[in-house]
Amino acid sequence: MEKTDLTPEESFDVINKAIANFKINYRESSKVFLLWGWILTLASITNFIILKFLPGTELWAHNGYIILGSWVVFLLTGFIIMYFMVRKMNRDKKVHSHIDKFIDYLWWVTAPSFIIATFICIRLGIAPPPLMLLVAGIATTTTALVIKFRPLIIGGMSFFLFSIASTFVTNEYLALVVSAAIICGYLIPGYLLKAAKE
């Protein structure tokens, strides 16, 4: 096989084609952003309802277990749905690139980061949303910058703003801040990414 040297322009074209192929793949996987957008929004709203409408501060420990349990149910449901969704997408995917692998690895590292950050927050007795939104912002913004999709970049950056905003909100209303962050960071960009199919 003959080795060919590429000009800088040809190298740039190869890179742009790889990014274009990745964008096509990622547009197809907008379903993942939409899945987690809806799962996390529903979990946050459920969290708010539990805090707002279950009576009494003496039940706080009880409410805490109910909130934790509802998050576990929502997250397990999301992981089960995602498992089958990603399996089908990988079977149907025609092009696999290094960019695909990078994004996959990024989110596989991010998932345990959420768990570790939650554990740290519980041990320190602080509310998890500021750290959760920060971690989501890092992974989402990185993904968006790699695929060069502006609405997702803005959505990822919004997580940073909501992370800061969540430090000024009482515990009762934190879930609404998280819901707004998820809508801005995952749902709106997810629908725009889905609509961007060509």
pLDDT tens digits, 57-116: 555 555 677 888 889 999 999 999 999 988 887 787 766 677 778 888 899 999 999 999
**pLDDT computed for residue 41 by the predictor:** 96
Residue 32 lies in a domain: yes
Better pLDDT: 120 or 9: 120
Residue 163 lies in a domain: yes
Placement of tokens 């819901």 in the chain = 179
Residue 3 lies in a domain: no
Residue 2 lies in a domain: no
The pTM is what?
0.81
Residue 1 lies in a domain: no
Q: Name the burial class of residue 186, with classes exposed (0-12), middle (13-18) and buried (19+) by CB atoms within 10 angstroms of its CB.
A: buried
The pLDDT of residue 52 is above 90: no
Asked if 129 and 174 touch (Cβ cutoff 8 Å), the reply is: yes
Q: What angle do CA 56, 59, 64 make, to 5 degrees?
A: 125
Domain count, the chain: 1
Residue 133 lies in a domain: yes
Structural domain containing residue 154: 8-195
Q: State how far the Cα of 135 lies from the Cα of 112, in Å rounded to an integer.
A: 11
